[in-house]
Each structure stands twice: as C-alpha cells, then as structure tokens.
C-alpha cells in the first residue's frame, strides 16, 4: 500500500528542529482559521520567505478567502473567485503547485495557463512588492480545503525544491485545521459534517436519513450506507474527523483481549455498542459508536480500572461483529486444541487395508477437524492450506501460507491423514477412491455471514499417500485502488490511463504478486453504469457486481483467445484477459485495444521494460504495439512490519550504504536522508499478534512504465531493456527497488523483504 505523508514524516525528522516540531504540533491542535492566524510568525519562521498567505475554501460561495494578519495595516478579508484567472484559484482547481520567479512577468505566468493573470492590487494597497511566488494546495485526503502561498524568497532568486517540500510539510496540519474550521463556520459540526462539505450527501438527504433512522429505531450510519450508498471509508472519514480519533472497521483476523472481555457482560456490550479490541501493557483500545458519550466513558473507566483508555470510533454493525467474534472465542478458547485432544485420546491402529481402520472420512471428529482447519485458515488470513502426510507412522503436517510464507499450524496423528483427505475430497465432490492421479476441485464453505471458496489440488505422493493444497479464495469484492500502496505518482498516472477510452494496460510480475487483485481494484475504480466490462479469468477469484465474468475452460476449447474473440462481438467497452499465455491472445488483445476497447491483462515478467521485449518476441508488430500500449505496471508483494511490535533502530554504515547503492546514490541523496544519529529504520521484534515473525500483512511495491512519445519510438526501434529503463527513469519511473526502499525508510517494511522479491 509509498504515501505522500510517509515521505513528509521522513522530511520532518531531518529538516526541522525542536522549534519546528512545536509549530507543527500547534497546527495539529488548531481547530480554526483564527487559531492558525495566531501562529502566523511561527509558521513563517519555518520557511525561507518574507511573507505568506493562507486561503480557506468557502464551499458554498465557491470562493477562496483569507483574513489579513494583524501586523498588516489593512482591514477585512481578501476573497478570490474559484477560477483559473488567479494563481490561488488555479492551484485550487488543478491541485497543482505553482512556482514563479517573477510574478509580474506575464509571459512566465501565461506559460502555466493562458488565462492566468497575477493580481497586483494587494501590493498597491499595502506597498508590498511581490517578486517570487510559491503556491501549493492544502488538501485533506484528496479534497481541497485551501491554498498556501509563500511570497518573496529571502535567500536566493527563486523558491527551490526544498522550499516546496517545506511548504508541503506545513499544509498537512493546515488541511486538518482548515477542515475543522469549515465544519464549524458552516455550522455543520456534526459527525456527518464531512459528508456534507465533501458533497457526498445533501442536507435534505441527511435529514431524511436521520428521520428514517429514528422511525426504524436504528443508527443513521446504517441508513446512509444501505439507502444512500455512502461508502464505509467516507463514513469513517467523517466520524474520525468529528470524534478526533481513529475509525476502525471489523477485521475477522483480529484477536480480541479475552482477559478483559471475560469480565464484561456481553449483553451490556451489545446494548451500549462498545468493546475493548486491543490490550497492551497498561493501555486498552476501546471501540465504540460515540466516543463523546461521557456517561459511557465514565462507566468504561470504572469497568476497566487501572488502565489507560484510548478510544476509536466504529459503526454499530462492526462493533456487534467484534462482540460476536469474542463470544465464539471465549466460549471455546481453542477449538482445534479440543479436537486434537480427542484425536490423541482415541487409540487407533491402522492396517494396510483401509477398510479395517476404525475411523473414516465420515467420522464426526474428522468432520470437525476439516471444518476447523478451514475456519482457522480464514481467520489467520492464510492464502493456502498445505496438508502433507509423511507415511503411516509420522504425523501429518498442516501448514498455512500467511503473508507469502508457510508456517506450521498443526501436526495430525498419522492414522487420520487419509480420513482427513477423504473428508476434504467429499467436500470438493472428488473421487475418494482415486489415489493414483492428480485431482482438482472446489469447496464452498459457509462461515457465519459469508461464503468462502477453496480451490483444491491433490497430488499422489510416495507411500500411496496424497498431498493436498487448498487455495483460500475469500475475497468477494475488490480493494479500493487507493489502498494498493502505490506512491503518489503511480496512483495519479494509473488513474489517468485507466480512464482512457481505449488502449492496452498490463500488470506484470511472478505468480502470487497480487496482479489479479490490482486489476480488479482498477476495474472497480472504472466500474460505472455507462461501461460494459467483460473478463476472462482462470479462476474467477474476485467477483464484482456490474462485471460480466467468464471462467475459461481450455479442456473444452474456451481459452483466453476464444473468450476474447467472443467478447469483441458483445459490444464491450472494457475487456480484462486473465493472462497473455500465447501469441494469439497477445495479438487479439492488441488488435482490440486499437479498435476502441480498453484492454487489461497480465504477464509473468520481472519488470515493466522486460515486458516490452517479451511481447515483441511474441511477434507483435512493434508499431501497432507501441500505439496500443498505455502503461505497464510491474509489482511485487512484501511483508509489512508488525505494527504491534515495531521498533526503531539506527542501522550501521554498511546498511546505509547498501540502501543508497541499491536506490541509486544520486537519487537517494535527493530524499534528504543523511546518515546521522536521527536516521532510523524499523523492525518487528516479534509478538503474539504476528506469531513472533515480526511481520503482519503485505503491501505492494510498484513500477509504472508509461508510453510517452519517446518510449513509443524506442519500442518501435526494438530498443534494449536498458535503453527503455533509462528513458523511463528520466520521465519519472520509480523502479521496484526504489519504491521498496522508500517503504523501508517509511517504516512500512524492511530491506530484507526488498532483497527477497525485487533484487536479483
């Protein structure tokens, strides 16, 4: 998932002294524009400028306004219309920064936008003479809340990249303060104020939702999500902004603190909508629907004495889900442990003739065992279940693949290996008597309110045994494109190319690198009623409403190429082909992309530039391919450092040099990360949450190759990958290794993970 604020944090560490920290903290605590104006001189002291202006967006009047600081002899407000005629208005509309060497040089101003004109009226009123001008947008998330402007460089003839970085650091806390100011000034300081100011819902719709909630005696949040299609992410942003605490969704893999919950009455928790979800040392994190309910907070403090209580906000449905998960956990603390005790107490002897074994695949304990293995795999976030018999006398090993690595889950007595495999075969509708040939099937498993699909593969092994691997296909909907972990440039450019009406976009990487997940996130981003989208996949792992999805079946002739040819007769706007396995599929995909269709596909290549060579080796016409190609996204998945046991450390000089060398000495220097005492990296110590691995969860590292005119010419000339890479880097490409190292510097992962997947 590299974010702009990650780099901001890094810059903050190494560019600002104690005074800078104090000012930033003061801005973080500000709740209004007036509070910020009181910090005018302190903020100005952080930048190399003579003067500054902070504009707030007036949502209703579609204007930018600022109040003049007290030390300037001018009364009232300055207001600007929200259009591209003023520099501040242009920055507000485009979300692009403007850096002028001479604000009165109309030719320089016009190069930014022909309609743009510098307004010198403020200079005439004050006697101030504007020379250099640096203007940056103030954003909260992706939404504009204001504009920040620096006037006249103190030392030097123009504002530098470092000045722009300093300005971008300052506007982050300004964004929060200005949002709060807007909510208060518009008298929309309610927990749904963010939804109103961001035009996610109208006041009339909100009033109707509140009335409906009162009538049905349920929470308004449920009405907003169900009837008005407000996303949980937007609702969470609104609740978080109002309550000034994190918003936390239900996570079925989270293990709640049973030591606290066992002393609480479940019915009371359900009735009052709160539950402790994390307990570490003397601090407990409580999730509740209303952290401002003081009477509830007082009761919580009494029920959880001698603990520091932190609050998070959640929707009621998620809180109830957490309470339900805690019930099942406390009623049976270790279901698999109970089953294992039963297995060990049963004295069984196996003979060569299976028919004489007193346990079979229909045994109640075996059924419970098979079910619990699947349940535990899902709850632990496993992608695969491996069942590995080692003969008639040795225990059968069961391993889960979690975050890309196999970890031991249980050892089952040898006598149960065949009954367990048999039970899973029955669930997958396979032949339980066949042990000589590989078999493939599917299991549909119902778990509470959701259905899990498992893809089953069986391989005969020595000793007349069988290994079984079950791929857990638990995701029924795509992740938002913003949560893929892309850096700002990649996310912006990817969104740009996927909105094109036609062309070819590829996602490349080895098996298990998250290509399908990424493509479905992209399809989810463009999946609108006005688009007809067809996909051909093997298998269909993620389903989306609005997509017409086809499972290819090569055995009967329904190959990717055959499906693709069929799609072209079905009036599609967008086509996704699971994989370009052969020249025929590649050729049809390119042809489709230049005849008015947007085509997505995947390829097993190591990098974006190598993909070009691979496709040209499939005898694609380089000129046609160059015209069709919009972009190639290469990616890998790396493990994230566990947030529960994450700790900083100062690396050795050799480790620092290794990072700089692999990133590129010149580029690394531009990150502003000198090797001094303040330079730290992060690692996971290992804890119960991450099974003592130090890692929990995975995130993508990416490189995005865009086909500029120069890149197209290189493709047409069949240039070598090295030439393509040089040109792409000049145009802004960040390699997989570079993106990974930035995530290392941000404390998201460690360099060992980057070495494992991206450095060869």
Report residue 56 as tokens: 């707030």
Residue 214: count other Cβ atoms within 10 Å of its Cβ: 11
DSSP 597-616: -EEEEEE--SSHHHHHHHHH
Give the span between the Cα atoms of 187 and 189, in whole angstroms.
6
> Which backbone phi and psi does 396 adopt, to 5 degrees?
-85, 130
Alpha-carbon distance values, 142 to 95, 149, 173, 483 (Å): 9, 19, 14, 13
Write out the residue range of the structural domain in which residue 427 sits: 335-473
Alpha-carbon distance values, 687 to 56, 307, 345, 372, 460 (Å): 45, 21, 32, 24, 37
252 inside domain: no
pLDDT of residue 33: 72
Report residue 484 as tokens: 């893929």
pLDDT of residue 467: 93
Q: Which residue ranges in the chain fall short of pLDDT 70?
A: 1-21, 28-32, 59-61, 68-76, 141-142, 180-189, 252-253, 255, 294-295, 327-363, 448-450, 474-477, 760
Give the span between the Cα atoms of 712 and 591, in whole angstroms.
17
Residues 202 and 266 in one domain: no
Residues 438 and 525 in one domain: no
Q: Are 635 and 515 contacting, i.e. CB atoms less than 8 angstroms apart?
A: yes
Give the span between the Cα atoms of 466 and 389, in whole angstroms.
7
Q: CATH number, domain at 312? A: 3.30.300.160
679 SS3 class: coil
pLDDT in tens, 647-686: 888 888 998 999 999 998 888 888 888 888 888 899 888 8
Give the global pTM. Answer: 0.55
Residues 516 and 544 in one domain: yes
pLDDT of residue 6: 44
pLDDT in tens, 511-541: 888 888 899 999 989 988 888 999 998 877 7
Residue 40: count other Cβ atoms within 10 Å of its Cβ: 16
The secondary structure element, H or E, covering residue 635 is strand 629-641
Parallel, antiparallel or unpaired: strands 77-81 and 98-100 = unpaired
34 inside domain: yes
Task: Write b or e for each residue in 302-334: b if 16 or more Cβ atoms lie within 10 A of its Cβ, otherwise e.
Answer: ebbeebeeebbbbbbbbbbbbbbbbeebeeeee
First-residue to last-residue Cα distance in the chain:
23
Residues 391 and 485 in one domain: no
pLDDT of residue 18: 56
The secondary structure element, H or E, covering residue 450 is strand 450-461
pLDDT of residue 342: 65
Give the span between the Cα atoms of 53 and 119, in whole angstroms.
14
Residues 238 and 357 in one domain: no
Q: CATH number, domain at 503? A: 3.40.50.300
Give the span between the Cα atoms of 470 and 424, in whole angstroms.
10
Give the span between the Cα atoms of 28 and 173, in whole angstroms.
5
pLDDT of residue 666: 84
Give the span between the Cα atoms of 628 and 678, in whole angstroms.
48
250 inside domain: no
Report residue 328 as tokens: 């099942």
Calculate ∠ Cα 115-120-122, nearest 5°. Answer: 125
Q: Which of 185, 210, 228 is the last residue in one of the domains?
A: 185
Give the span between the Cα atoms of 653 and 627, in whole angstroms.
47
Q: CATH number, domain at 397? A: 3.30.450.90
DSSP 568-580: TTS--SEEEES--
Orientation of helix 417-427 relative to helix 364-379, angle to 10°: 70
Neighbouring residues of 38: CB distance < 8 A, sequence distance ≥ 6: none
Residue 202: count other Cβ atoms within 10 Å of its Cβ: 12
pLDDT of residue 350: 45
Parallel, antiparallel or unpaired: strands 308-313 and 283-288 = parallel
248 inside domain: no
Q: Are 513 and 507 contacting, i.e. CB atoms less than 8 angstroms apart?
A: no
pLDDT of residue 214: 86
Parallel, antiparallel or unpaired: strands 465-473 and 382-388 = antiparallel
Calculate ∠ Cα 39-42-44, nearest 5°. Answer: 105
Give the span between the Cα atoms of 238 and 244, in whole angstroms.
10
Q: Are 691 and 630 contacting, i.e. CB atoms less than 8 angstroms apart?
A: no
Residue 617: count other Cβ atoms within 10 Å of its Cβ: 10
DSSP 727-754: HHHHTT---HHHHHHHHHHTTSS-HHHH
Q: Which of 331, 361, 380 is the last residue in one of the domains?
A: 331
Residues 611 and 635 in one domain: yes
pLDDT of residue 641: 92
Residues 387 and 502 in one domain: no
- 346 burial via Cβ count (<10 Å: 0-12, 13-18, 19+): middle
239 closest CA partner among 254, 224, 228:
224
Alpha-carbon distance values, 329 to 108, 223, 277, 696 (Å): 66, 30, 13, 21
Q: CATH number, domain at 107? A: 3.30.450.40
pLDDT in tens, 429-484: 998 888 889 998 888 887 755 678 888 999 999 888 899 999 987 655 678 888 88
662 inside domain: yes
Neighbouring residues of 193: CB distance < 8 A, sequence distance ≥ 6: 183, 186, 238, 241, 242
Report residue 63 as tokens: 């204007």
Residue 507: count other Cβ atoms within 10 Å of its Cβ: 26
pLDDT in tens, 197-237: 888 888 889 889 988 888 888 888 988 988 888 888 889 98
Residue 5: count other Cβ atoms within 10 Å of its Cβ: 14
Residues 712 and 637 in one domain: yes
84 inside domain: yes
Residues 148 and 198 in one domain: no
pLDDT of residue 244: 83
Give the span between the Cα atoms of 44 and 53, in whole angstroms.
10
418 closest CA partner among 457, 390, 383, 378:
390
Could you tell me how many residues make up the chain? 760
Alpha-carbon distance values, 731 to 51, 710, 734 (Å): 34, 10, 9
Alpha-carbon distance values, 45 to 48, 86, 99, 170 (Å): 7, 26, 20, 11
Domain count of the fold of the chain = 5
364 inside domain: yes
Q: Which of 243, 277, 311 is the last residue in one of the domains?
A: 243
Alpha-carbon distance values, 450 to 256, 378, 541, 548, 668 (Å): 20, 11, 15, 22, 46
Residues 309 and 348 in one domain: no
pLDDT of residue 7: 45
Residues 239 and 297 in one domain: no
Residues 638 and 751 in one domain: yes
742 inside domain: yes
């Amino acid at each position: 998932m590299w974010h702009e604020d990650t780099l901001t944090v890094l810059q903050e560490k190494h560019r600002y002294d104690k005074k800078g920290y104090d000012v930033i903290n003061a801005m973080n605590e500000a709740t209004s524009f007036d509070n910020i104006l009181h910090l005018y001189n302190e903020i100005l002291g952080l930048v190399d400028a003579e003067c500054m202006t902070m504009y707030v967006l007036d949502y209703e009047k579609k204007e930018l306004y600022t109040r003049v600081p007290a030390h300037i002899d001018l009364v009232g407000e300055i207001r600007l219309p929200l259009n591209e005629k003023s520099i501040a208005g242009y920055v507000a509309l485009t979300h692009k920064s403007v850096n002028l060497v001479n604000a009165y040089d109309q030719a320089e101003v016009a190069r930014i936008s022909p309609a743009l004109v510098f307004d010198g009226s403020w200079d005439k009123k004050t006697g101030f003479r504007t020379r250099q001008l640096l203007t940056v947008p103030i954003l909260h998330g992706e939404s504009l809340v204001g504009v920040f402007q620096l006037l006249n460089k103190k030392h030097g003839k123009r504002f530098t990249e470092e000045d722009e970085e300093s300005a971008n650091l300052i506007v982050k806390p300004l964004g929060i303060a200005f949002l709060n100011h807007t909510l208060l000034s518009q008298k929309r300081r309610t927990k749904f104020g963010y939804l109103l100011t961001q035009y996610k819902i109208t006041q009339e719709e909100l009033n109707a939702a509140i009335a409906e909630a009162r009538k049905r005696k349920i929470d308004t949040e449920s009405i907003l999500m169900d009837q008005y299609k407000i996303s949980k992410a937007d609702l969470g942003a609104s609740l978080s902004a109002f309550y000034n605490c994190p918003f936390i969704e239900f996570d079925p893999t989270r293990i709640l603190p049973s030591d606290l919950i066992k002393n609480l009455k479940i019915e009371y928790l359900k009735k009052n909508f709160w539950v402790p979800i994390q307990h570490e040392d003397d601090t407990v994190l409580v999730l509740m629907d209303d952290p401002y309910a003081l009477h509830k907070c007082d009761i919580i403090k009494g029920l959880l004495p001698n603990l520091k209580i932190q609050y998070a906000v959640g929707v009621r449905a998620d809180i109830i889900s957490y309470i339900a998960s805690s019930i099942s956990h406390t009623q049976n603390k270790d279901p698999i442990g109970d089953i294992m005790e039963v297995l060990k107490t049963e004295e069984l002897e196996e003979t060569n003739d299976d028919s004489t074994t007193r346990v079979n695949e229909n045994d109640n304990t075996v059924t419970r065992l098979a079910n619990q293995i699947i349940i535990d795999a899902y709850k632990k976030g496993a992608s695969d279940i491996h069942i590995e018999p080692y003969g008639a006398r040795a225990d059968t090993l069961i391993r889960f693949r979690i975050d890309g690595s196999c970890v031991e889950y249980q050892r089952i007595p040898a006598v149960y290996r065949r009954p367990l495999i048999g039970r899973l075969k029955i669930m997958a509708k396979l032949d339980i008597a066949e042990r000589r040939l590989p078999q493939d099937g599917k299991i549909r498993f119902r778990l509470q309110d959701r259905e899990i699909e498992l893809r089953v593969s069986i391989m005969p092994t020595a000793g007349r045994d069988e290994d079984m691997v079950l791929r857990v296909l638990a995701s029924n909907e795509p992740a938002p494109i913003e949560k893929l972990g892309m850096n700002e440039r990649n996310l912006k450019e990817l969104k740009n190319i996927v909105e094109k009406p036609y062309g070819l976009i590829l996602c490349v990487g080895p098996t298990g690198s998250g290509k399908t997940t990424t493509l479905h996130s992209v399809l989810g981003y463009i999946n609108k009623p006005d688009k007809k989208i067809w996909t051909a996949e093997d298998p269909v792992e993620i389903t989306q409403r609005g997509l017409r999805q086809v499972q290819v079946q090569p055995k009967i002739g329904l190959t990717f190429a055959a499906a693709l040819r069929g799609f072209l007769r079905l009036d599609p706007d967008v086509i996704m082909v699971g994989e370009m396995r052969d020249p025929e599929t590649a050729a049809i995909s390119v042809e489709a992309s230049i005849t008015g269709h947007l085509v997505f596909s995947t390829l097993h290549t190591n990098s974006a530039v190598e993909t070009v060579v691979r496709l040209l080796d499939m005898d694609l016409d380089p000129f046609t391919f160059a015209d069709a190609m919009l972009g190639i996204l290469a990616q890998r998945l790396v493990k994230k450092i566990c947030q529960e046991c994450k700790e900083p450390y100062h690396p050795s000089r050799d480790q620092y040099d290794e990072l700089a060398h692999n990133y590129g000495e010149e580029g690394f220097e531009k990150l502003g990360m000198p090797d001094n005492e303040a330079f730290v990296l992060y690692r996971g110590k290992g804890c119960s949450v991450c099974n003592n691995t130090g890692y929990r969860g995975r995130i993508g590292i990416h490189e995005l190759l865009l086909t500029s005119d120069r890149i197209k010419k290189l493709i047409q000339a069949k240039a070598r990958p090295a030439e393509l890479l040089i040109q792409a880097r000049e145009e802004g490409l960040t390699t997989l290794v570079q993106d990974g190292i930035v995530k290392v510097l941000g404390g998201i992962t460690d360099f060992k993970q980057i070495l494992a997947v991206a450095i060869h």
